[in-house]
C-alpha cells in the first residue's frame, strides 16, 4: 500500500460510515461501565473466578471487545498498551515482552499460558509470539499478572505471567472469514467454523499470514547517539530483512455431561519460515537467515464434581517444536500432566494439585546431542474470604532434573473499604530454572582452538545447577471516583539473585576463551504503575497509564545486562458511536534506555548505545453492518501512524560484545549512523481489512 492512499482511505471510510443505519441494539462492542470494570472476573491469580479488584495479585485484563477495538496485528501489539509491560522488537519475528524491567532477548522471565497450557519455548524459555497457534478474534480475554506466581505455577512464572483465554466453541460465530492487506506486504487470511450438536461443540480455524518485516530505508536520516565505539567498518547499504510467513490451524471440542463431567480438547499447529539476523556472522551485520519451523500441540482437560463443594480436574498436554535453520537447529518435545482439586470449605477456597512434566531436546550444539529433563511438583493455595478482607497464602514444591528442590511461598491480603476502594499487599518468592540452551549448550568453533572460543551452557559445581531467584513485594491501591473514574496505583520492589548472563573466560584451554552462561548478576528493581480509567455511560471510554522502574545493580554489570526504559506511558480512547462506528486512538511514549548488549574497550570500560525516547500512535476505525444473519465488519488501522524511526532492541553484532574487539575506535559519525540504521525500525503498518460472520 502506498502512503498517499492512506488519507483517502480514511476519508472514504468516514463518508461511508456517516450514511449508514444503526444495527440492532444488542452489540458485543458496547463499552463497559465502571461497575463492570471493577467486577471483571479473572482466574489466573487463584484459579478460581475472582473479581479483578479482589485478586491477590497485580492484574490487568484485556477483554474481547477491547481487543476488537484496538488496532493490532499480533499479541504484542495489544500488550504494548498495558502498564508494567515492556514490549520491544529485536526484529519483526522476535518481539520481547517482559514485566517490570525483566526483559531480555529470548526473554524467559515471563510465563505465557493459552487456556492454561504453557507456550514458552522449552529450548530457550522465550516466547515466539509470531508462531503461536492462535488468532486474535479467538481470544476471550488476556489476563496479565505483574506479580510472580511460582507458588501456583512453578518455575516459569518468575516476573509474572500472561494468560490468554480463548472463546469456547459455542461462543464463536458459525462461520467467519477475514482478510487483511497492509504495508510491508502484510497479509492475513482466516477461515473459521463452529457448531453445536447437543452436548458437543466444535470449532475449526485455519489461516495464513506473511510480512516482509520492517526494514531500514534511510540510513543517513538516523541520528541516534552512540555511547562508545562499535567495532566494524560498514560498507554498502545493508537491507534489514526480517520477514516471515506462517500458516496456522486450531481445532477445539467441548463435551458436556460426559461420564458425569466435562471434556475440553484443543489441537493446533503452525508451520512456516522466519528470517532472522545471523548473529554469529562476522562478515555481515544482519543477513537473511530463513528458519523453517513448525510446532504442534494437543491439550485436553476433564473436570468433574466430587461433591457440592469439591471439583477435580485432570489436564494433559503434548507439544513439539521443530526448528531447521543454519543457526542452532533444534527439536523439543514436552509432555505434561496435572491433577487439580478445588475445594470450598466455608469461607476458604482451596486449590491443590500435583504436576509432572518431561521435556526432551535434540540439537547438534547440545552436550551429547540430546538431553531429557523432568519435573514433579506439589502445590496448595488457600483463598480465605471474609466480609471486607481476603487473605491468600500459597506454597509449592518443585523438583527439576539437575536442580535442587525449590519451595516457593507467597502471601497476599486484599482489604476492601468504602465504596470502590481497596488496598492490596503481597510478598512472595519465585524462581526460574535454566533453559535447555542455558544448561547444555556446547557450541564448538571451527578452526584452531588456540585462536577461537567455545560457547557453553552452565558449568555447575558438583553437578547441581542454580535457579534464578526473585523476592517480590507489592502494595496496590484502587479507588473509584464518582460514577465514571477509576484510579490504580501499584508500588513494587523486586530483588533478583543469580540472574543468568554471559561470562567470558580467557584463556580457556585448549581454546583461546569461552563464553559461559553463568548465574552472576544480582540487582534490585523498584517502581510503580499508575492508571486512570474513564468509563462514563456514554460512547467514549478513555485510559491513561504510566510505568516507572529503577534498576539498582548489586553486582558489577557485564556486557550482557537488562536494558529497559525507566519511563513509559500510554494514552488512549475507545469509542462506539451510533451507526456502529467503532475504533480507538492510542498514543505510546517510551523513555530513553540502553540496550541489553554493550561492548568493552581495551581498558575494560563498558559502552552501550543510547536509545532515545520514542512516541508512536496507533489508530483503528471500523464499522459493523448487519445484513439479516450476516454481519460484515470493515475498517482501516495503522500502527505507528507517523512512521517514526526508532530503536527498541538493537540487534548486536555477535562478535562485538563477547568475541573480541578492535584495537582502533576512530569511527566516523557516519559509520556510527550506519551501525544504528542496521537496527532502526521503520515500523508503520497501515492496513485495510474486512470480515464476514454469521
Q: Which residue has the cell 485484563?
A: 61
Residues 323-349 have a mean pLDDT of 87
The single-letter DSSP state of residue 169 is G
DSSP string, 217-229: --GGG-----SS-
Maximum Cα interatomic distance, the chain, rounded to a whole number of Å: 78
Residue 601 pLDDT class (50, 70, 90 cuts):
low
Q: CB–CB of 456/444 below 8 Å?
A: no
618 — alpha (psi -120 to 50), left (phi > 0) or beta? beta
Mean pLDDT in residue range 174-187: 91
Q: Which residues partner with 476 through β-bridges?
A: 424, 490
In angstroms, the CA 642 to CA 574 distance is: 20
pTM of the prediction? 0.88
pLDDT band, residue 233 (cuts 50/70/90):
very low
Kindly indicate the confidence band of residue 339, based on its pLDDT and cuts at 50, 70 and 90: very high
Q: Rounded to the nearest 10 degrees, how much is the dihedral formed by the CA atoms of 60, 64, 65, 71?
A: 90
CA 386 to chain CA centroid, Å, is: 35
Residue 319 has pLDDT above 60, yes or no: yes
Per-residue model confidence (pLDDT) at position 496: 93
**What is the pLDDT at residue 240?**
46
Residues in Cβ contact with 497 at an 8 Å cutoff, skipping those fewer than 6 apart:
468, 469, 470, 471, 522
For residues 281 and 469, the model is more confident at 469
State the pLDDT at residue 279: 46
- Is 60 exceeded by the pLDDT of residue 476? yes
How sure is the predictor about 96, in pLDDT bands with cuts at 50, 70 and 90? Answer: confident
Q: Determine which of 180-189, 318-327, 642-651 has the lowest per-residue pLDDT on average.
A: 642-651
pLDDT computed for residue 654 by the predictor: 38
pLDDT value, residue 379:
96
- Beta-carbon-side half-sphere exposure of residue 117 (alpha carbons within 13 Å): 27
Q: What is the 3-state secondary structure (H, E, C) of 361-411?
A: EECCCEHHHEEEEEEEEEEEEEEEECCCEEEEEEEEEEEECCEEEEEEEEE
What is the pLDDT at residue 381? 95
Q: What percent of the chain has pLDDT over 70?
A: 79
* Report for 100-109, 113-122, 498-507: range of highest mean pLDDT: 113-122
- Omega cis (within 30) before 510: yes
Lowest mean pLDDT among 517-526, 534-543, 552-561, 600-609: 600-609
Structural contact between residues 548 and 581, judged by C-beta atoms closer than 8 angstroms: no
pLDDT on residue 21 = 38
DSSP-assigned states of every residue in 254-299: EEEEETTEEEEEEEEEEEEEEE---TT-SS-SS---EEEEEEEEEE
Q: How confident is the model at residue 150 (pLDDT cuts 50, 70, 90)?
A: very high
**Tell me: the pLDDT tens digits for 45-59?**
899 888 888 889 999
| Torsion region of 255: left, alpha or beta (phi above 0 gives left; psi -120 to 50 gives alpha) | beta
Alpha-carbon distance 309 to 297, whole Å? 33
Q: Is 484 left (phi over 0), alpha (psi -120 to 50) or beta?
A: alpha
Amino acid at each position: 500500500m502506498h502512503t498517499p492512499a492512506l488519507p483517502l482511505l480514511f476519508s472514504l471510510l468516514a463518508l461511508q460510515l456517516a450514511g449508514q443505519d444503526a444495527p440492532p441494539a444488542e452489540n458485543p462492542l458496547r463499552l463497559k461501565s465502571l461497575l463492570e470494570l471493577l467486577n471483571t472476573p479473572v482466574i489466573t491469580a487463584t484459579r478460581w473466578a475472582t473479581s479483578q479488584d479482589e485478586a491477590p495479585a497485580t492484574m490487568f485484563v484485556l477483554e474481547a471487545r477491547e481487543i476488537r477495538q484496538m488496532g493490532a496485528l499480533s499479541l504484542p501489539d495489544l500488550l504494548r498498551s498495558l502498564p508494567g509491560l515492556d514490549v520491544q522488537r529485536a526484529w519483526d519475528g522476535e518481539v520481547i515482552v517482559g514485566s517490570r524491567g525483566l526483559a531480555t532477548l529470548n526473554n524467559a522471565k515471563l510465563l505465557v499460558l493459552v487456556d492454561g497450557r504453557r507456550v514458552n519455548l522449552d529450548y530457550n524459555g522465550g516466547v515466539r509470539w509470531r508462531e503461536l497457534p492462535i488468532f486474535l478474534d479467538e481470544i476471550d480475554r488476556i489476563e496479565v499478572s505483574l506479580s510472580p506466581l511460582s507458588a501456583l505455577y512453578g518455575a516459569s512464572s518468575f516476573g509474572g505471567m500472561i494468560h490468554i483465554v480463548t472463546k469456547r466453541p459455542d461462543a464463536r460465530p458459525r462461520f467467519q472469514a477475514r482478510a487483511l492487506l497492509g504495508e510491508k506486504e502484510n497479509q492475513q487470511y482466516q477461515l473459521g467454523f463452529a457448531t453445536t450438536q447437543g452436548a458437543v461443540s466444535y470449532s475449526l480455524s485455519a489461516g495464513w499470514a506473511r510480512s516482509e518485516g520492517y526494514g531500514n530505508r534511510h540510513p543517513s536520516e538516523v541520528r541516534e547517539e552512540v555511547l562508545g565505539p562499535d567495532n566494524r567498518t560498514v560498507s554498502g547499504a545493508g537491507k534489514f530483512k526480517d520477514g516471515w510467513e506462517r500458516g496456522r490451524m486450531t481445532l477445539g471440542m467441548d463435551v458436556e455431561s460426559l461420564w458425569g463431567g466435562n471434556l475440553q480438547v484443543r489441537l493446533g499447529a503452525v508451520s512456516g519460515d522466519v528470517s532472522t539476523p545471523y548473529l554469529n556472522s562476522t562478515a555481515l551485520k544482519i543477513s537473511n537467515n530463513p528458519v523453517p519451523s513448525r510446532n504442534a500441540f494437543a491439550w485436553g482437560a476433564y473436570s468433574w464434581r466430587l461433591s457440592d463443594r469439591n471439583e477435580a480436574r485432570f489436564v494433559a498436554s503434548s507439544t513439539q517444536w521443530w526448528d531447521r535453520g543454519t543457526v542452532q537447529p533444534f527439536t523439543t518435545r514436552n509432555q505434561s500432566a496435572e491433577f487439580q482439586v478445588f475445594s470450598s470449605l466455608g469461607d476458604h477456597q482451596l486449590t491443590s494439585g500435583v504436576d509432572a512434566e518431561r521435556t526432551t531436546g535434540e540439537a547438534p550444539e547440545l552436550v551429547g546431542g540430546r538431553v531429557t529433563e523432568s519435573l514433579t511438583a506439589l502445590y496448595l493455595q488457600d483463598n480465605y474470604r471474609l466480609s471486607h478482607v481476603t487473605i491468600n497464602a500459597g506454597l509449592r514444591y518443585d523438583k527439576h532434573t539437575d536442580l535442587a528442590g525449590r519451595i516457593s511461598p507467597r502471601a497476599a491480603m486484599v482489604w476492601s473499604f468504602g465504596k470502590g476502594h481497596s488496598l492490596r499487599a503481597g510478598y512472595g518468592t519465585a524462581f526460574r530454572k535454566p533453559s535447555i540452551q542455558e544448561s547444555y549448550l556446547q557450541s564448538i568453533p571451527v578452526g584452531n582452538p588456540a585462536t577461537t572460543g567455545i560457547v557453553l551452557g552452565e558449568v555447575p559445581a558438583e553437578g547441581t545447577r542454580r535457579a534464578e531467584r526473585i523476592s517480590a513485594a507489592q502494595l496496590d491501591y484502587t479507588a473509584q471516583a464518582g460514577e465514571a473514574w477509576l484510579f490504580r496505583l501499584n508500588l513494587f520492589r523486586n530483588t533478583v539473585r543469580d540472574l543468568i548472563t554471559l561470562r567470558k573466560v580467557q584463556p580457556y584451554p585448549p581454546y583461546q576463551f569461552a563464553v559461559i552462561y553463568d548465574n552472576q548478576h544480582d540487582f534490585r528493581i523498584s517502581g510503580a504503575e499508575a492508571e486512570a480509567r474513564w468509563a462514563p455511560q456514554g460512547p467514549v471510554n478513555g485510559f491513561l497509564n504510566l510505568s516507572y522502574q529503577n534498576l539498582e545493580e548489586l553486582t558489577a554489570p557485564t556486557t550482557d545486562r537488562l536494558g529497559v526504559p525507566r519511563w513509559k506511558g500510554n494514552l488512549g480512547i475507545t469509542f462506539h458511536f451510533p451507526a456502529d462506528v467503532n475504533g480507538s486512538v492510542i498514543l505510546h511514549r517510551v523513555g530513553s534506555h540502553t540496550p541489553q548488549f554493550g561492548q568493552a574497550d581495551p581498558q575494560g570500560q563498558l559502552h552501550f548505545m543510547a536509545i532515545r525516547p520514542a512516541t508512536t500512535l496507533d489508530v483503528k476505525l471500523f464499522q459493523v453492518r448487519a445484513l439479516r444473519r450476516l454481519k460484515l465488519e470493515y475498517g482501516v488501522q495503522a500502527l505507528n501512524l507517523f512512521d517514526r524511526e526508532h530503536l527498541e532492541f538493537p540487534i548486536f553484532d555477535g562478535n562485538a560484545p563477547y568475541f573480541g574487539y578492535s584495537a582502533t575506535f576512530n569511527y566516523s559519525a557516519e559509520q556510527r549512523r550506519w551501525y544504528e540504521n542496521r537496527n532502526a525500525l521503520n515500523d508503520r503498518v497501515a492496513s485495510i481489512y474486512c470480515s464476514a460472520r454469521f
